Structure 1
Amino acid sequence: MAFHRRDAQELSERVTADGLRKGLLWRGAPACLGMDFAADTVRVGLDADTPPRVGDEAVLISMARRMLGLEQPVADFERAHRGHPQLAGLLAARPGLRVPQTTTPFEALVWAVTGQQISVHAAISLRRRLMQLVGNRHSGGLLCHPSPQQVVELEPDQLGLAGFSRAKTRTLLELSRQTADGGLPLQDWLDDGAPEEIAARLLALPGIGPWTVSYALLRGYGWLDGSLHGDVAVRRGLQRLLERAEAVSPRETEQWLQGFAPWRALVGAHLWAMQTAAAY
């Protein structure tokens, strides 16, 4: 829930003591996703500004399970490494930790591009301005993340005035264009995309490097083996875990994480979480 509580202004996500409300586009129309938690269950509902269709319930359940990380085999990971001299303490402190995922892979990629080389706080501010710029608002008041088609229609100057650098503007527009015209079938890859293939296609885009790909695959597809060694917060967490006085380099972090394949990104999430619940 801390992941969805990041934006204190609550323009697109609203977290309560026992639930979440999130604005999103559903079949192109604004909608509000509701998740209400009680004991070991969650009730999921959708208030959409469009009539329901046959099959909506199955799509909604699949999306909710993905967002909650219920498909992530974290129990296998914990059994494999609960005896590790350094990691065992982290696993014991946060048993069952799963990585929150976004509603769509496109949202995850926009998150990743937006967050390149800046703080989480600054990335949240940019994300908020992007949603305000497009203006998808559900009848209940929450803003919804824009679609690829809507981002393509923005002018570079509009993104620049919203705070995006020229490089990020170029990357976002190209990413959105290729997604909108079907060149990047991000949604289809949820069913049959191989992480290696997805990574190769994304790395071919300007302004997208290994960190962006690993983060997007983690948030958008639940791929738990991306190496987040380029992430400053991951390296800071590793420095603390190893009780090192000096900073840990990206290369050292990469080598240390390599021993945890195919769970490297999940280890990164534990290193995020040891610093603050909102970090991961």
Structure 2
Amino acid sequence: MFTETVVLPAAPPFDLGAALRFMDGFGPTAGEQSVDGGTLTKALRAAGRTVAARIVQEGDGVRATVRATVHATEPLTEDVVRAAADRISFHLSLEDDLTGFYAIGREDPAFAPVLERLYGYHQVKFPTPLENLVWAILSQRTPLAVAARGKHALRDEFGDRISVDGAEYTAFPDIEQLATLPEGRIAELVGNQRKGRYLHGALHAWLETDEDFLRTGPYGEVKDFLLSLPGVGAWSANFILIRGLGRMDEPPLEKALRGAASRAYGRPLSDADLQRIADGYAPWQGYWAHYLRAAA
């Protein structure tokens, strides 16, 4: 086994423990990583290679860093280590500066207790926005267990496995791998012809775009691209923008958020009420919504 260690800065305040607690209850990635105390171990694809990362926090919430030890079965090249570090930092939203968000939240009496409960939590995104896209399509009007079986079947098709200290981890495929699957094979793996068709079309469109554009391009253009994908409607696009890309410009006006916000604010809230409150959190509207959901 070959290893390289990188130290990644985390914008304060940061608490890896809060991220690990969120992962523990997040169904779409359940069982796909291990948590031992404050250490996270997970497989991922980096520059076309399968690696595993063992991640721990160093320092306190104000001066925290994350130490990631990258494991591979072959010598690690600089581009692989760099890609792995970028993926880990983005997955854990280490660079998110929450100072302005916290300043607004402390002045909101109903939201301040939520802020205190999750203090130092940076949004845990899907490990890749591609994985979020696949999950968004698979989980539409489908029980979580069925969607998870389809996702795992796609993952296991490529066998991107690596063992660390006797435990095996499997990485979700990258776009170059998934795009090799014919539509019929995708449908067979996920057990649904319509979703197989949607995934095949969406994956090939995704192959032609650039993740840097999705992360940093003009919000409206990125949203329009997502809405152009087969099987992606307004809800799924917003889901991917927030949970896969960390684009926090708009809150998801949905039943689960209404329920979480209504409990926090102590009264039933309509979509108009949600948007009015969220407007006060611009440009952290998505973070406000995600904190409410995570606290619930």
TM-score, normalised to structure 1's length? 0.82
What corresponds to 1:278 in structure 2? none
Q: Secondary structure at the match of 2:160?
A: coil
Q: String of CA shifts for 1:106-159, please: whole Å, max 9, x gaps.
A: 223223333334465554444333312333222442111012233233344544
Q: Report the residue type matching 2:200 in the other structure.
A: L
Range with greater deviation from structure 2 (103-112 or 140-149): 103-112
What corresponds to 1:239 in structure 2? 262
Q: Secondary structure at the match of 1:171?
A: helix
Q: Report the residue type matching 1:272 in the other structure.
A: R
Q: Distance in 1 between matches of 2:245 and 2:217?
A: 9
What corresponds to 2:105 in structure 1? 81
Q: Do the aligned partners of 2:226 and 2:232 also contact (CA within 8 Å) in 1?
A: yes
Q: String of CA shifts for 1:198-249, please: whole Å, max 9, x gaps.
A: 111111122212222222122332222232113x3212202212334x6x55
Superposed counterparts of 1:186-197, under 5 Å: 186-190=211-215, 192-197=216-221
What corresponds to 1:148 in structure 2? 175
Q: 1:34 aligns with which of 34, 54, 68?
A: 54
Q: Do the aligned partners of 2:126 and 2:244 also contact (CA within 8 Å) in 1?
A: yes
Q: String of CA shifts for 1:59-109, please: whole Å, max 9, x gaps.
A: 433332222222212121110231113222222222233211234322232
Q: Secondary structure at the match of 1:145?
A: coil
Q: Secondary structure at the match of 1:42?
A: strand
Q: String of CA shifts for 1:183-202, please: whole Å, max 9, x gaps.
A: x2124544x42222111111
Identity of aligned residues (%): 24
Query: Alignment length, in residue pairs?
Result: 269
Q: Distance in 2 between matches of 1:251 and 1:160?
A: 39
Question: Is it true that 1:260 corresponds to 2:285 in the alignment?
Answer: no
Q: Distance in 1 between matches of 2:288 and 2:30?
A: 29
Superposed counterparts of 1:41-80, under 5 Å: 41-80=65-104
Q: Report the residue type matching 2:260 in the other structure.
A: G
Q: Report the residue type matching 1:253 in the other structure.
A: L
Q: Do the aligned partners of 1:14 and 1:21 also contact (CA within 8 Å) in 2?
A: yes
Question: Is it true that 1:208 corresponds to 2:232 in the alignment?
Answer: yes
| Cα 1:241–1:261 shift into 2, 3 Å | same
Q: Distance in 1 between matches of 2:205 and 2:241?
A: 17
Question: Is it true that 1:15 corresponds to 2:35 in the alignment?
Answer: yes
Q: RMSD of the alignment, in Å?
A: 2.8
TM-score, normalised to structure 2's length? 0.78
**Gapped regions of structure 1 (runs ≥ 5):** 276-280
Relative to its length, the structure with more strand (as a share) is 2
Q: 1:264 deviation in Å?
A: 1.4
Q: 1:138 aligns with which of 162, 167, 172?
A: 162
Q: Distance in 2 between matches of 1:115 and 1:44?
A: 31
Q: Report the residue type matching 1:176 in the other structure.
A: L
Superposed counterparts of 1:113-132, under 5 Å: 113-118=137-142, 123-132=147-156
Q: Distance in 1 between matches of 2:262 and 2:193?
A: 33
| Cα 1:150–1:117 shift into 2, 3 Å | same
Q: Distance in 1 between matches of 2:180 and 2:225?
A: 23
Q: Report the residue type matching 1:236 in the other structure.
A: G
Q: Report the residue type matching 1:273 in the other structure.
A: A
Q: 1:26 deviation in Å?
A: 2.0
Q: 1:17 deviation in Å?
A: 1.0
**Gapped regions of structure 2 (runs ≥ 5):** 1-19
What corresponds to 1:2 in structure 2? 21
Range with greater deviation from structure 2 (60-69 or 204-213): 60-69
Q: Distance in 1 between matches of 2:236 and 2:66?
A: 31
